[in-house]
Amino acid sequence: MLSSTEFNEEAQTEPERTCGCPYGICDGSGHYLVNKPEGLFAKKCKCYEEQVIYNKLDFAQIPKEFQNLAIKDFDIDIYKLEESKVKASRAVSVSKKYVDKFEKMQELGRGLYFYSKEAGSGKTRLAVSIGNSLVKYKKQHVRFITTVDLLGKIRDSWNDKSGSSEEALVEEFVTIPVLILDDIGVEGNKDWINNIFYRIINRRLTNKKVTLITSNIPMNKLGFDYRLINRLEDMVMQVVMPEESVRRTKAKSKNEEMLKELMG
Ligand SMILES: [Zn+2]
């Protein structure tokens, strides 16, 4: 699960967006009016496309610290072990090609499964970087959610006070074109969990929706029903990540940088 203490990397957030137009052309709506002899016409402003992307990124619900990550910024040199660098550069290369060939991948409904036993090895970073690229360059609707949050929402739906039904929630997660499912396997193996995942995964597979998954457990060792594992194996290709945590390395080097600044 993600928590702010686990990811104490410097947040790379976007500059704050004002409600107006960044070019000072329209009123911020993405359109402006042109007065012509025939009457008033609405024209698309320069900022319109950016707004479309911004809205899609907003929809994606990617955690703040990951929002601006790009695949090209994924730093291989942060890993200390040679073996890790090799694995990481292979994973980055797969990710880049995946985005390049996305139209074909989408046609096949094929996604990726980032696995390493070690937490903090860069799985979520890379999956989210792909998601960001798909929003920006392939105009896709992407949604990020941890499996713990997803199951939490389902559990809440059993409560009468909750606004939506279990089936409506399953349907919501079935129809999202690109779903990033973070940290599958931590939720344990209860019948209802297996059932929810099966319904979502099976229907996503049937509808050829793209799913990107991260996990600390290899796909074939997930404690789910074999039918669910089979569906997963049909749907996602496993990418092995380094068995090295870079979370602490990153935090440490940030601290050293700051200390230098204070002493300089
Ligand atoms: Zn504008």
In the reported structure, the alpha carbon of residue 128 is separated from the centroid of ligand 1 by a whole-number distance in angstroms of: 28
In the reported structure, the alpha carbon of residue 75 is separated from the centroid of ligand 1 by a whole-number distance in angstroms of: 35
pLDDT digits (tens), the chain, 264 positions: 444 333 333 333 444 344 578 888 888 888 898 888 888 888 999 888 888 887 777 778 888 888 888 999 899 999 999 999 999 999 999 999 999 999 999 999 999 999 999 999 999 999 999 999 999 999 899 999 999 999 998 988 888 666 778 898 899 999 999 999 999 998 877 899 999 999 999 999 999 999 999 999 999 999 999 999 999 999 999 999 999 998 766 667 777 788 888 887
Report pLDDT for 162: 65
Tokens of 224: 């789910």
Q: Which residues, listed in sequence order, are joined to residue 238 by a DSSP beta bridge?
A: 113
In the reported structure, the alpha carbon of residue 55 is separated from the centroid of ligand 1 by a whole-number distance in angstroms of: 14
In the reported structure, the alpha carbon of residue 144 is separated from the centroid of ligand 1 by a whole-number distance in angstroms of: 28
In the reported structure, the alpha carbon of residue 52 is separated from the centroid of ligand 1 by a whole-number distance in angstroms of: 12
Enclosing H/E stretch for 195: helix 191-206
In the reported structure, the alpha carbon of residue 14 is separated from the centroid of ligand 1 by a whole-number distance in angstroms of: 18
In the reported structure, the alpha carbon of residue 18 is separated from the centroid of ligand 1 by a whole-number distance in angstroms of: 11
Provide the greatest CA pair distance for the chain: 70
Domain range annotation of the chain: 61-250
Q: What is the ipTM of this complex?
A: 0.94
Task: Report the distance separating Cα 91 and Cα 113, nearest Å.
Answer: 11
Specify whether the CB–CB gap between 192 and 158 falls below 8 A: no
In the reported structure, the alpha carbon of residue 65 is separated from the centroid of ligand 1 by a whole-number distance in angstroms of: 27
In the reported structure, the alpha carbon of residue 19 is separated from the centroid of ligand 1 by a whole-number distance in angstroms of: 10
Report pLDDT for 187: 83
In the reported structure, the alpha carbon of residue 177 is separated from the centroid of ligand 1 by a whole-number distance in angstroms of: 28
In the reported structure, the alpha carbon of residue 54 is separated from the centroid of ligand 1 by a whole-number distance in angstroms of: 13
Task: Report the distance separating Cα 110 and Cα 104, nearest Å.
Answer: 9
In the reported structure, the alpha carbon of residue 46 is separated from the centroid of ligand 1 by a whole-number distance in angstroms of: 6
Report pLDDT for 54: 78
Specify whether the CB–CB gap between 201 and 230 falls below 8 A: no
CATH architecture observed for domain 61-250 = 3-Layer(aba) Sandwich (3.40)
Residues 6+ apart with CB under 8 A from 205: 109, 231, 234, 235
Residue corresponding to tokens 């006070």: 161
In the reported structure, the alpha carbon of residue 27 is separated from the centroid of ligand 1 by a whole-number distance in angstroms of: 6
In the reported structure, the alpha carbon of residue 53 is separated from the centroid of ligand 1 by a whole-number distance in angstroms of: 14
In the reported structure, the alpha carbon of residue 33 is separated from the centroid of ligand 1 by a whole-number distance in angstroms of: 11
Bridge pairing between strands 39-44 and 31-36: antiparallel
Report pLDDT for 30: 87
Report pLDDT for 161: 66
DSSP-derived secondary structure for 117-165: SSTTSSHHHHHHHHHHHHHHHH---EEEEEHHHHHHHHHHHTSTTSSS-
In the reported structure, the alpha carbon of residue 178 is separated from the centroid of ligand 1 by a whole-number distance in angstroms of: 28
In the reported structure, the alpha carbon of residue 44 is separated from the centroid of ligand 1 by a whole-number distance in angstroms of: 8
Specify whether the CB–CB gap between 251 and 9 falls below 8 A: yes
Nearest partner of 115 among 2, 241, 220, 212, judged by Cα: 241
Report pLDDT for 4: 39
In the reported structure, the alpha carbon of residue 57 is separated from the centroid of ligand 1 by a whole-number distance in angstroms of: 18
Report pLDDT for 238: 97
